[in-house]
Amino acid sequence: MAKSFQELGYDALPVDSAVEVVTPFEDTHYGTREMTVRDPDGRLWSLQAPGRS
């Protein structure tokens, strides 16, 4: 059975080589973790995850 994101840890997620990581996951001052990626079409995506507990 595949492990969940929480079991693996968000930093362990594989990133496809077609996706450019603009900013890696960083802790925010408001308790979450955020990162930004650029897709092959040039769009920026901001991803957010619960902070570490």
Q: For the segment 4-52, what is each residue's pLDDT rounded down to a tens digit?
A: 455 555 555 565 578 888 999 899 999 999 999 999 899 999 999 888 7
pTM over 0.85: no
Q: Which residues contact 1 (CB under 8 A, 6 or more apart)?
A: none
- Quickly state the pLDDT bin for 3 (edges 50, 70, 90): very low
Q: For residue 16, what is the enclosing H or E element? A: none
Whether 36 and 46 have beta carbons less than 8 Å apart is answered as: yes
* For the chain, domain boundaries: 18-53
CATH 3.30.720.110 holds for 18-53: yes
Query: CA distances (Å), 9 to each of 4, 5, 22, in order?
Result: 8, 6, 19
State both tokens at 10.
């968000």
Tokens 């955020």, residue? 34
State both tokens at 14.
């594989």
